[in-house]
Amino acid sequence: MMKENPRVVLYIAHLVVRRLSPFVRQVDFALDWLFLESGRAVYRQDDESDSTYIVLSGRLRSVITQKDGKKELVGEYGKGDLIGVVEMVTQTKRSTTVIAVRDSELAKLPEGLFNVIKLRYPIVVTRLINLLGHRILGSWKQRAISIHSPSRSALDSRPSQLNFSTVAIVAATDDVPLTAFTYELYHCLSAIGSTLRLTSDVVRKTLGTTIMDPNNEYRLSSWLAQQGGPAQDLPLPV
């Protein structure tokens, strides 16, 4: 439809804008939409805290650098998580470095916009306090487990995350029965919640044979992020 009649896009955009409230349009105007390639930093330790970030898709890790140069994993962030909100609210410098471990989409919420929302809708502050309270309580519990279980490995002591939405399954060797394994995994996950099994053939059939080309990387990442909600896992044999 868009190819045959491109003007339909303008009509739909005008219709959507008319239905949005002025406040929502102001928020949309003030937000910055970011696409972060894997390995790039959102911000670094000791940077100024002038904004917070909302993860729309992808995966990010928070790392703190000690005085002796040793780096320590603090936590991970996935779809729907807030990043850097504590430093912004307390007006302190960034305490960690946050790096994308895969291509990620973020919404940047400036401090000024946050203050406007806070003044207009005070309940946001209440929800934020509740969110931060649960996060702090969770970190305390994590420390308590580490203290009482010193034999736990470093991997086990990392913060547990339940918001994975896209999981890629890659064979380590050619003799791995990848198709059979992913079918078994698919049926196991389906017993827990909604699950979608994708293969490279399915992706090419849906998005075209050139979707795996480097210039289509953003389109592929965006499409994958749209396939699953917060409670879904997408095994993707490649």
pLDDT digits (tens, 9 = 90+) for 106-160: 999 998 888 888 888 888 878 777 777 766 665 555 555 454 444 433 333 334 4
pTM: 0.66
pLDDT digits (tens, 9 = 90+) for 86-104: 888 888 999 999 999 988 8
Query: Which strand (E) or helix (H) includes residue 103?
Result: strand 97-110
Structure tokens at 141: 């519990």
Distance CA 91, CA 89 (A): 5
Structure tokens at 198: 């994708």
**Strand-pair category, 51-65 with 167-169:** unpaired
CB of 84 closer than 8 Å to CB of 52 = yes
Query: Which strand (E) or helix (H) includes residue 55?
Result: strand 51-65
**Strand-pair category, 82-83 with 41-43:** unpaired
pLDDT class for 214, splitting at 50, 70, 90? confident
Instruction: Kindly state which CATH superfamily the domain 32-148 is placed in.
Output: Jelly Rolls (2.60.120.10)
Query: Which strand (E) or helix (H) includes residue 32?
Result: strand 32-36
The domains of the chain are located at 1-30, 32-148, 167-237
CB-CB neighbours of 12 under 10 Å: 11
DSSP designation for 216: G
